[in-house]
Amino acid sequence: MTFLNKRTRYTLISLLLIGGTIFFIYLMPKPNSDVKNRDILSTIYRDSTQSVSVRVEDLLNQMTINEKIGQLALVDRQKIYDSRDLAHYGIGGLLSGGGSKPSSNTPQAWLDMVNEFQRSANESRLGIPLLYGIDAVHGHTNVPGATIFPHAIGLGASRDADLVYQIAAITTKELIATGIFWNFSPSLDIVQDTRWGRTYETFGSNTQIVRELGVAYINGLQSTTVGASHVIGTAKHFLGTGAMVWGTSENPDFKIDQGLTDIDETTLRSVHLLPFIDAVNAGVGSIMVGHTSWNGMEIAANKYLLTDILKNELGFKGFVVSDWYGVYEISDNKYEAVVMAINAGVDMVMLPFDYKSFTKQMQQALLNGDISTQRLDDAVRRIMRVKFELGLFDNPLIKTIDSAQLGSSAHREVAREAVRKSLVLLKNDKATLPLSPDTPHVLVVGSSAHNLGRQSGGWTVEWQGVDGNGLSGTTILDAIKQTVSEQTVIEYDKEGDFPMTQGLADIGIAVVGEKPYAEGWGDDEHPRLTDEDLLAINRVKKRSKKLVIIIISGRPLDIRDEIRTWDAVVAAWLPGSEGEGVTDVLFGKVPFVGTLPVEWPL
C-alpha cells in the first residue's frame, strides 16, 4: 500500500510538471513564421460590415495568451531596438514621450516612422494594428510647423467651449496628417496648488469650467474625421492629481508632482470626479491613471477607484492606461506591481521600457493564478474595441501626408483668436490700455519679448520645451512692430540697457515670465519673476512715461511687491505661436475678455 501511495504521488507530480511545461510553452511568444497560417483563421474580425462587438469577440477567441499579453504593453518607440519585436511580442501600443521624435523632425518623417511601425506590427499572426500615442496637449507641437495653441490654462481663462472644440478638432487633423490616432489629452485635473509644475496643463481650479471645456475638447477631438480616420482622447489624470500636497512627492527631484492626495472621498467625488463623469458620458476612448496616491495607495493599484467606481459605477467602456512608468511605482517588486495594477483595473501599461520582462511577469502571473484569464480578456477586449472603433484594422496607414493641415493659416487664425480670448487684465491705471498704434515712441524689454520658446512653454518639440526662436510663429516683439504705425519708433533690448536720450519714451513694454518647463521639473515653491527681468523692468520704467507688463507664465507669479509701481499688467499665460493675438488686445483691436482660471493674489 505504501508503494502504491508513493507511485501515485510521483505520477501526479510528473503530470503537473508536464502540464505546467506545456502551458508555459503555450505562453511563449510565437515566431513570425505563424504569419503564413493566417489563411486558416476565421476572418470575421477583418470584415468591416460586421459590428464592432462581433469583430472583437471573433478576434479574442483566436488569440493566444501571449498575443493577449502583448496588447497590454505600451512602449516608447525609442525602446524598440528590433522592429520585428512588434509582431513577435504582439505589442499593443507605442508612444513618443516628450521629445521622442524621428531623427529628421519633419511631418513626412513622422508619417514614415509611424507607418513603418504599423507595417511591422502587421506581420504578426493576426495582423493586429498598433495604437500610437502622443502628448499633443496644445496642438501637435511635437512637429515643427504645426499650430501651437495656448496651453490649457489660457483656454481656461477664455471659458469658451466652442473655441476649445475648434482647437481639439484642428489638433485631430494635424495628428492624422502624421498617422497618429491617439492623443494623451485633455487634462481634467482641478489644480489646487499653483506651485505645481503641471498647472498650465489644466483648465484651472473651477470644477464647472473644467467640466465644460473638457467635454468640448473630447468632442472636438473624437468627432472630427479626415477621410475614414479619427482620433481618441485621453482624460487624465484619474483621480485627484490636482489636489496633491506640497512636499509629498515620491520623486526626490520634485516637490508636489507624483505626490500624495490628502482629501476625503466626498471631496474627491464632488470636486475631482465630476469632469471624468462627463468624459465617460462623452465617450472618451481612454483614461490615464495619475501619478499620485490616495488613502495610502497608488491610484494605479486602487481597485475601488479604477474598477468599482470608474468601470462599474460610471460604466466606462474604454480602456485604462497607466502613466509613464507609473505601474512600477506601486512596489519595488516589479512582479507584484504588475499584478496589483492589472487586478486593480489598469488595461494598458505604459511601461514604457522593458516589454520583454513585462511579458514574463504576465506569463508567470497567469501561470500562478495571480491574474485571471477573465481579467486579461477584459483588458484586451477594451483595447480591441477602441482599435476597431478607430478603424485601425481597416485603414491602419495614412498613405500620403496632407501638408496643408499642418500650421495652415486657417488653423493659426484660430490659435490667434484663442490668444486674444485668454488674456486677463490684472491692472490698468491711468487708462494705460489699450495702446494707440500711433504711439510715437515705444521701448520693449524682457526675456519673453522675442522668444517663441518661452511663449510656447513645455511640451513644445521637446518635453521641457525650448528656450529660443527655433519655432514657427510670431514673437510678441515682432507682433508689436507689425501693429504700430510706420511713424512709431520701436527700440528693443532684452535687458533694458538703452542709451540715455533726451526725454522719455511714451510707453515701455516689458514682456517677462518663466522659462519653459514640464511636470515636476517645474515645481516651484515661490514662482516669481527673475532678477534679470525685474532689473529690465526697472530700467525701462525710468525711461518711459507709462509702463505695461505682459507676463508669460504657466501659473500666477508673485508680483505683490512690484505691481503697485506698474501702470498696467496683463496675464498672457503661455500663448503659443501667435504673438499677434497679444497685440490685437494690447492695441485695442478687440477688448479683454479673459478671466482668471485660478486665484492670483495681487
pLDDT, tens digit (0-9, with 9 covering 90-100), for 260-293: 999 999 999 999 999 999 999 999 999 999 999 9
Q: Could you tell me if residue 210 is inside a domain?
A: yes
pLDDT for 100: 93
What backbone torsions phi and psi does residue 468 show, to the nearest 5 degrees? 155, -165
Q: Could you tell me if residue 321 is inside a domain?
A: yes
Are residues 467 and 515 located together in one domain of the fold?
yes
Q: Are 349 and 300 in contact (CB under 8 A)?
A: no
Q: Could you tell me if residue 418 is inside a domain?
A: no
Q: Which of 367, 386, 422 is nearest to 128 (CA)?
A: 386
Q: Are 194 and 554 in contact (CB under 8 A)?
A: no
The Cα angle at residue 441 between residues 437 and 446, in degrees rounded to 5: 95
| pLDDT over threshold 70, residue 550 | yes
Are residues 396 and 439 located together in one domain of the fold?
no
pLDDT for 591: 98
With cell 489629452, the residue in question is 185
A 10 A CB-CB count for 602 gives 12
Q: What percent of the chain has pLDDT over 90?
A: 89
Considering the chain, what is the average pLDDT of its residues?
A: 93
pLDDT for 499: 87
Which 8-state DSSP code applies to residue 545? E
Are residues 476 and 569 located together in one domain of the fold?
yes
What is the total count of domains within the chain?
2
d(CA 101, CA 437): 42
pLDDT band at residue 116 using 50, 70 and 90 as cut-offs: very high
Q: C-alpha grid cell for residue 192?
A: 489646487
- Say which CATH number the domain at 198 has: 3.20.20.300
Which run of H or E residues covers position 6?
helix 2-27
d(CA 333, CA 203): 36
- What is residue 492's three-state secondary structure? strand
pLDDT band at residue 500 using 50, 70 and 90 as cut-offs: confident
The 3-state secondary structure of 554-580, one letter per residue: CCCCCCCCCHHHCCEEEEEECCCCECH
Are residues 389 and 251 located together in one domain of the fold?
yes
Q: Which of 202, 203, 214, 204 is nearest to 282 (CA)?
A: 214
Per-residue pLDDT tens digits for 129-156: 999 999 999 999 999 999 999 999 999 9
Q: Could you tell me if residue 17 is inside a domain?
A: no
Q: C-alpha grid cell for residue 13?
A: 507530480
pLDDT band at residue 405 using 50, 70 and 90 as cut-offs: confident
Which 8-state DSSP code applies to residue 319? E
d(CA 475, CA 582): 10
Per-residue pLDDT tens digits for 171-199: 999 999 999 999 999 999 999 999 999 99
pLDDT for 38: 53
With cell 504705425, the residue in question is 485
Per-residue pLDDT tens digits for 333-354: 999 999 999 999 999 999 999 9
Q: Could you tell me if residue 602 is inside a domain?
A: no
Among 403, 436, 471, residue at a domain's last position: 403
Q: Could you tell me if residue 411 is inside a domain?
A: no
d(CA 4, CA 525): 75
Q: C-alpha grid cell for residue 193?
A: 496648488
Are residues 432 and 388 located together in one domain of the fold?
no
Is the Cα torsion angle 235, 238, 243, 248 positive or negative in sign?
Answer: negative
Structural domain range at position 395: 34-403
The Cα angle at residue 172 between residues 121 and 197, in degrees rounded to 5: 95
Burial of 403 (0-12, 13-18, 19+ CB in 10 A): middle
- Say which CATH number the domain at 428 has: 3.40.50.1700
d(CA 436, CA 128): 60
- In the sheet with 182-183, reading across from the earlier edge strand, the strands are 182-183, 131-134, 93-96, 73-76, 349-350
pLDDT band at residue 17 using 50, 70 and 90 as cut-offs: very low
Q: Are strands 568-573 and 93-96 parallel, antiparallel or unpaired?
A: unpaired
With cell 515701455, the residue in question is 508
Are residues 241 and 383 located together in one domain of the fold?
yes
Burial of 354 (0-12, 13-18, 19+ CB in 10 A): middle
**Each residue of 50-87: b (16+ CB within 10 Å) or e?**
eeeeebbbbbbeebbbbbbbbbbbbbbbeebeeeebbb
Q: Are 208 and 156 in contact (CB under 8 A)?
A: no
Residues near 87 by beta carbon (within 8 Å), at least 6 away in sequence: 32, 35, 120, 121, 122, 123, 124, 125
Which 8-state DSSP code applies to residue 519? G
Are residues 374 and 436 located together in one domain of the fold?
no
Q: Could you tell me if residue 1 is inside a domain?
A: no
d(CA 278, CA 215): 7
Q: C-alpha grid cell for residue 437?
A: 498704434
| pLDDT over threshold 90, residue 400 | no
Whats the size of the chain, residue-wise? 602
Are residues 466 and 397 located together in one domain of the fold?
no
Which 8-state DSSP code applies to residue 52? H
Helix axes 2-27, 355-368, angle to 10 degrees: 150
Q: Which of 555, 572, 464 is nearest to 509 (CA)?
A: 572
pLDDT band at residue 15 using 50, 70 and 90 as cut-offs: very low
First to last CA, the chain: 91
Q: C-alpha grid cell for residue 23?
A: 502551458
Are residues 346 and 248 located together in one domain of the fold?
yes
| pLDDT over threshold 60, residue 51 | yes
With cell 485627484, the residue in question is 240
d(CA 323, CA 288): 6
Residues near 533 by beta carbon (within 8 Å), at least 6 away in sequence: 446, 447, 510, 512, 513
Residues with a known catalytic role: 323, 519
Are residues 441 and 388 located together in one domain of the fold?
no
Q: Are strands 489-492 and 441-445 parallel, antiparallel or unpaired?
A: parallel
Which run of H or E residues covers position 165?
helix 161-176
pLDDT band at residue 404 using 50, 70 and 90 as cut-offs: confident
Are residues 349 and 465 located together in one domain of the fold?
no
What backbone torsions phi and psi does residue 376 show, to the nearest 5 degrees? -60, -45
Which 8-state DSSP code applies to residue 491? E
Are residues 389 and 454 located together in one domain of the fold?
no
- Maximum alpha-carbon separation in the chain: 117
Q: Could you tell me if residue 596 is inside a domain?
A: no
